[in-house]
Structure 1
Amino acid sequence: MKKSLIALAALSAVAGSANAQTSVTLYGVIDTGIEYVNRVATAPTTLSPSLTGVAPVGKRFDMNGNGGLSASRWGLRGVEDLGGGLKAIFTLESQFTPDTGAFAGNTGIFNRQAYVGLSNQYGKIAFGKQYSSLAEGMLNFSPTRAAPAYEPGVWWLGINYRPANTIKYKGEFGALSAAAHYSFGAGVGLTSLSTGGALYNGGAGETPGAHRDDTAWGASVSYLNDQFGLGIGYDQWNPAATVGNPGKVRKAGIAGSYSFGPAKLMAGYRWGDQTYANGRTAMRDDYWFAGVSYRVNAALDLQLAYFYSNIKQLALSNSSAPINPANPQQVSFVADYAFSKRTDVYLTTAWAHNGSLANDGPFTGYLFNYAQAPGQKNMVGALVGIRHVF
């Protein structure tokens, strides 16, 4: 009996040691609220030359499903210590709309991130669906912290900012971070521009005999400490509307931040060039942003941001004549009050001119349901919401 007790104690010690080396964390965010938007149209099924939405047009008062400050999501992340400083890692993350409980975009369960990899003191290498290198290098400089309601984040980083079928390296060395990735098929299933000369369509990639279809790659480097930050990055995606005929979407960005006392300044620039498979320009644009955040006290944080897009050239198909549309610009304001580290309430508002909120349109896949009404010059939105982090 005594020997049995000793053996049981030994087995328990081994099991406890194994459990101490492995951890799995459940985490998530739920964010929703009540929103008012004026002069908004429904997303179009076909595009007009003005790139605007279609009827019905008018005011909208409803519950926001995209989130005001954060996209609602839940996930699992795990790590296992393999010894010698080497660890196995994984992340599975799912985005959903809290107003209905449905998966965002009617996509698969782990639609946000799904990867497995290895890490050590020199960084980590991961395989699967994960953030692009440009997103890794730029998101720390977002004026409203990549709030999905009214910041043009998808316009900034591209709809391929979370490519599938991706191998990525990321290393963190004190305040310095570096990332590089390659996608064998970005897997973005959104259609942009007209079907007669689409720039990107199904986005499946990994096609036999057409190895460049929907591939993507990029790299970034950033430096961020308590006072100063600077990031630079590049992203290229080769979307194929038809097999063997990839276009090209290229983006390069630089951004920085400076903190002093309770205030933080942020600014950045993104160059963009998108071309059809025949080499004709689909869109050439420059995107600028600037913002300031101010910590009033331990609970209240204020953010003010300005976004400007200079659309130099735009062609609705690979054979149409280029146009030079009016340049969209937007002002956004956020007041965020924290009850605790996990729960806060907020007011976020925005005014857009010569476009729709968050630059929502064909080049963002109408992801945020802010289609611009025909003939309009201005759009205003306001959202009062609550967010809980777990």
Structure 2
Amino acid sequence: MKNVFIAMAAALACSGAAYAQSNVQLTGLVDMYAGSLKAPGGERTASLGSGGMTTSWWGIKGTEDLGGGLKADFNLTAFFRPDTGTPGRYDLAFGETFFSRDANVGLSGSFGRVGLGRGLAPNFLPTVFSNPFGDSFVISPLVLHANMGVSSANWYNTTTPADTGWSNQIVYSTPDMGGLKANLHYQFGEQTAAGQRGKKNVGLNVMYGNGPLNLVAFYERAQVNNPAGSSVIPTTSNWMVGGNYDFSVVKLYATYGQSKSKADVMAAGWTPGKNKTYSLGLDVPVNAAGTFKAAAAQTKAEPANGSIGGKRTTFTLGYNHFMSKRTDVYGAVMYDRVKFTQSMSGTSVAVGIRHRF
């Protein structure tokens, strides 16, 4: 019996040592806002919404130290809408998967990291880092122009039609090389239909940060849709360069990018052509916890078949105040104008709170 207790104690000790090398955490962010929204050509709506500054999400992340500088990690995170308690960024009928933010596993070490599964697309981080409103799909001019196009009637004008996250992908991330980092992305198309085999998404991004200067760039060639990755889309190549510089009294942002699509795949309402997008922004510290923000973006759409093009111009003014490291409040006013066969505009106002856990 004594030997049994000794064996059990040894097993528990070994188990404890193994668990001590692992780290699993529940994490996420909840963002809610109240406002009056009016899209160009749409009706004004009083709204209590989710994701004013950042799309709400929750999930589980973990790492394990394998020894010798090698680590394993996993990420399982999902978007949700706390205003209704609904999962996803939009209704599931439109193809949103449950773990649409992250669903991947990887190995990292001195060589960098190799990850398998669903994760960020090449366009996401450079877009977030090069505008003062981050990843807001409600009030960031650059994010709206990159992901929602010039006109709701012509989604072909979307700069990043393959979404901000890619499924079925391999990502290699380099180690930090004196402030320089890069990510290489390859998404398997997994298409079996005749004429669609070999379709895939490929891309890369490069980010450099040294003191007050930050520079970013990305390139994508997309042929498969997301988040489900269930069908092909007309081949679209897009790129962007940008960055920011912190002068202490003001932080300035700027980007320029182009998107070009082909008509190699038939798609309803799709017209091949080129987009050109410019953006400018600034952050002005008001006090130790608050910043005044301003941003503008303009996209010009040039259809290749000679049909009428379009132009979208968006301006946003806002203020962001941190009440703690995890909680901040914000307010913003956005003017959005679209010129496509006719001119339409809308002004939106939103105030909200964001909490991280």
Structure 1 length-normalised TM: 0.77
Residues 1:164 and 2:154 aligned together: no
User: 1:251 touches 1:272 (CA, 8 Å); kept in 2?
Assistant: yes
Shift of 1:4: 6.4
Distance in structure 1 (CA, Å) of the matches to 2:128 and 2:55: 14
Distance in structure 1 (CA, Å) of the matches to 2:72 and 2:307: 50
Q: Could you tell me which amino acid in structure 2 is paired with residue 309 of structure 1?
A: T
Residues 1:177 and 2:181 aligned together: yes
Of 76-85 and 93-102, more deviation after overlay is shown by: 76-85
Stretches of structure 1 that go unaligned for 5 or more consecutive residues are: 42-56, 186-204, 316-320, 356-371
Task: Report the number of matched residues.
Answer: 329
Residue aligned with 1:153, SS: helix
Residues 1:247 and 2:251 aligned together: no
Residues 1:60 and 2:64 aligned together: no
Distance in structure 2 (CA, Å) of the matches to 1:385 and 1:136: 23
TM-aligned CA distance change 1:118 to 1:208, over 3 Å: farther
Q: Could you tell me which amino acid in structure 1 is paired with residue 123 of structure 2?
A: L
Distance in structure 1 (CA, Å) of the matches to 2:224 and 2:18: 45
| Candidates 77, 81, 97, aligned match of 1:93 | 77
Residue aligned with 2:353, SS: strand
User: 2:145 touches 2:297 (CA, 8 Å); kept in 1?
Assistant: no
Shift of 1:103: 1.3
Distance in structure 1 (CA, Å) of the matches to 2:220 and 2:25: 31
Between the aligned residues of both structures, percent identity stands at 28
Residues 1:386 and 2:353 aligned together: yes
Shift of 1:20: 1.5
TM-aligned CA distance change 1:238 to 1:179, over 3 Å: same
Distance in structure 2 (CA, Å) of the matches to 1:230 and 1:249: 24
Shift of 1:12: 3.7
Distance in structure 2 (CA, Å) of the matches to 1:40 and 1:311: 17
Q: Could you tell me which amino acid in structure 2 is paired with residue 32 of structure 1?
A: M
Residues 1:231 and 2:246 aligned together: no
Structure 2 length-normalised TM: 0.84
Shift of 1:3: 6.2
TM-aligned CA distance change 1:219 to 1:16, over 3 Å: same
Map 1:71-110 onto structure 2 (within 5 A): 71-104=55-88, 105=90, 106=92, 107-110=96-99
2:281 counterpart residue number = 291
Shift of 1:232: 1.7
Partner deviation per Cα, 1:99-122 (whole Å, 9 max, x = no partner) = 111112223321221111111112
Distance in structure 2 (CA, Å) of the matches to 1:33 and 1:274: 35
TM-aligned CA distance change 1:257 to 1:380, over 3 Å: same
TM-aligned CA distance change 1:60 to 1:335, over 3 Å: same
2:24 counterpart residue number = 24
Distance in structure 2 (CA, Å) of the matches to 1:247 and 1:114: 26
Shift of 1:258: 0.6
Distance in structure 1 (CA, Å) of the matches to 2:232 and 2:23: 45
User: 1:221 touches 1:233 (CA, 8 Å); kept in 2?
Assistant: yes
| Candidates 312, 315, 319, aligned match of 1:335 | 319
TM-aligned CA distance change 1:5 to 1:113, over 3 Å: same
